[in-house]
Chain A
């Protein structure tokens, strides 16, 4: 089992759709969870942190389920500009900075 696993892609959705990604992690002591966005031939950029109580930023909602060891990202009202690869990252070392990325899920939003 991989340390950090994501939903396989690609997700092809129409504009306005709601799409959800999941990411599971192997270590129950993990801390610090994030979602990143990566555009083609660019560096990953922070989309949002994931807090224990869940958090929202505009059309984006992130949640953490410690019991089942997964995080999720929900995108509402998808825009063409949301087309990118979404990467989850987990500190598997419980605070010692071993930040491991998932393989990424590609999202393509079409008109």
Chain B
């Protein structure tokens, strides 16, 4: 069975450029999460969706960050404009009901 699929796996971009990260959750899962992980701050919850509806985006660091989930099988996290401090691993995860969440392999972002 396919797990959570994220793309790109690695991205290096210049400061000021737009970055779009993509996620396909596990089929049938009704919740989707975006996390960011850094050495300093650990795993931070950025935003999560229930049934494609954003529920809590209080973890989104700034207005430069935005996330969408146009349908049950696709979500994007966009950073515009990107800054060096956005360099991190961005994980997407999905969940069915009250079960465990399952992570994608992450998108490793470096902003130079």
Q: Which residues of A contact B (CB under 8 A)?
A: 31-32, 34, 42-46, 49, 87, 89, 91, 93, 95-104
Contacts and interface: CB of A to CB of B under 8 A. Distances in A.
Contacts, number: 49
22 contacts: A32-B98, A34-B100, A42-B105, A43-B105, A43-B106, A44-B91, A46-B100, A46-B101, A87-B43, A93-B56, A97-B48, A97-B55, A98-B48, A98-B55, A99-B33, A99-B45, A99-B48, A99-B95, A99-B101, A102-B42, A103-B42, A104-B42
Nearest to A101: B43
Interface string B5-17: 0000000000000
Interface of B: 31, 33, 35, 42-43, 45, 48, 50, 55-56, 91, 95, 98, 100-106
A45 B91 CA distance: 12
A23 to B, nearest CB: 13
Contact of B98 (A87, A95, A100, A102): A95
A43 B91 contact: yes
Interface-centre pick from B35, B42, B50, B56 (highest chain A CB count, 10 A): B42
A111 to B, nearest CB: 27
A91 B98 CA distance: 9
Contacts of B31: 97
A44 B43 contact: yes
A8 B73 CA distance: 38
Given A98-B45, A104-B42, A43 B50 contact: no
Contacts of B35: 101
B103 A44 contact: yes
